[in-house]
Amino acid sequence: MTQSTPQSTTPAAHLRSGLIYESATTGSAFTRLDYDAVTNTVTILYGDGTATSLDGARLGDTLLHWAALCFECQHGRLPGMRLGPVGERLAHRYTAYVRRPAA
């Protein structure tokens, strides 16, 4: 007998590797966020060529903020952003997250 587990209500549940989002600007204002599911890290690439890696398990409210940005972008409110597949999933899960009934 298999046991099923309900989907998590957190936006980070079951992500796969890929682009979260990137800004449409160029130069020093450019930012790109990529998620690596194997290492559970987010790499942020800045326009000046520097990069930062963050532990996915320690993102907390930062991930929720990124999910909200992805949601806003998906609804056309942030034309300076382009979502990747991970960002699309975050936006979708964020919609479910904000619509969940209060406990």
Residue 44 placed within a domain: yes
DSSP 64-81: HHHHHHHHHHHTTS-TTE
Residue 11 placed within a domain: no
Residue 59 placed within a domain: yes
Q: What tokens does 99 get?
A: 């619509």
Type of residue found at 80: G
Residue 7 placed within a domain: no
Please tell me the total count of domains within the chain. Answer: 1
Residues of the domain holding 34 = 18-99
Dihedral (C-alpha) 18, 23, 27, 32: value to the nearest 10 degrees?
Answer: -20
How many Cα neighbours within 13 Å face the side chain of 4?
Answer: 2
| Alpha-carbon span 64 to 1, nearest angstrom | 35
Residue 34 placed within a domain: yes
Spell out the residues 6+ positions from residue 51 whose beta carbon is closer than 8 angstroms to its own: 43, 44, 45
What is the per-residue pLDDT across 70-102, written as a single tens digit (0 to 9) for each? 999 999 999 989 999 999 999 999 988 888 777
Is the pTM for the entire model greater than 0.75?
yes
What is the per-residue pLDDT across 49-78, written as a single tens digit (0 to 9) for each? 999 999 999 999 999 999 999 999 999 999
Residue 78 placed within a domain: yes
Residue 62 placed within a domain: yes
Residue 6 placed within a domain: no
Residue length, the chain? 103
